[in-house]
Chain A
């Protein structure tokens, strides 16, 4: 089945220690998105890649970076995680045409200790 896979499902990191979350897709979608979701809130878009073009949301902190080395993979790097960065991080993909919506991964639950 075509899907979006996020690894790991759960990540514990130390305050200030860089951490990388990964996302892969088998849908061959053009667009990959990273969202941050805190408890019982709507997902908040951090940034997205349309093919190789990176698009950062204006209010995304510099602490968050992303890489997309190829169509299938996208990474979220948190350079110096703070306690406030503890959240569920969701990766999503779309065709970029507006049809079919987004396909989400199962998310990575990040805990900062």
Chain B
């Protein structure tokens, strides 16, 4: 089956720093999604990307759908303590697909 390789696995950063994480696949995806999961909660959708090359922002978050359709990145600018959590990339592959494939997640820790 499809796999999404998400990196890094974990990050420790200082408050105020920018963060970048990415997701790659050996196969093409039609939709890329980025979720954030805080401890004890379900994942919450941050950004959805539907077209190759698309660059979308949500506040301090920016994500891009790679031109090759095999990768996506998420950037967080000027990190704050409440950015702590696990960030998952996910994607739909194939026309009409409704089954999400998840990356293994990037655990973000922000040091005040």
Contacts and interface: CB of A to CB of B under 8 A. Distances in A.
Classify chain A: how many residues form its interface, as a range: 20 to 34
Contact of A41 (B43, B97, B104): B104
Contacts, number: 62
Classify chain B: how many residues form its interface, as a range: 20 to 34
B16 to A, nearest CB: 25
A40 interface: yes
Contacts of A102: 33, 43, 45, 90, 100
A42 B103 contact: yes
A100 B43 CA distance: 14
Given A42-B104, A98-B92, A101-B33, A109 B40 contact: yes
A91 B104 CA distance: 18
A97 B42 contact: no
Contact of A106 (B30, B41, B97, B104): B41
Nearest to B50: A99
B78 to A, nearest CB: 26
A49 to B, nearest CB: 12
Interface string B79-92: 00000001010101
A45 B2 CA distance: 14
A98 B96 contact: yes
Contacts of B42: 4, 6, 90, 92, 104-107
24 contacts: A40-B105, A41-B104, A42-B103, A45-B99, A48-B99, A90-B42, A90-B43, A94-B98, A97-B96, A97-B98, A98-B96, A99-B31, A100-B48, A101-B33, A101-B35, A101-B45, A101-B90, A102-B45, A103-B45, A104-B35, A104-B43, A106-B42, A107-B40, A107-B41
Given A97-B98, A98-B96, A103-B45, 11 more contacts: A6-B42, A42-B103, A42-B104, A99-B31, A101-B45, A101-B90, A102-B90, A104-B44, A106-B41, A107-B41, A107-B42
Interface of A: 4, 6, 31, 40-43, 45, 48, 50, 88, 90, 92, 94-107, 109
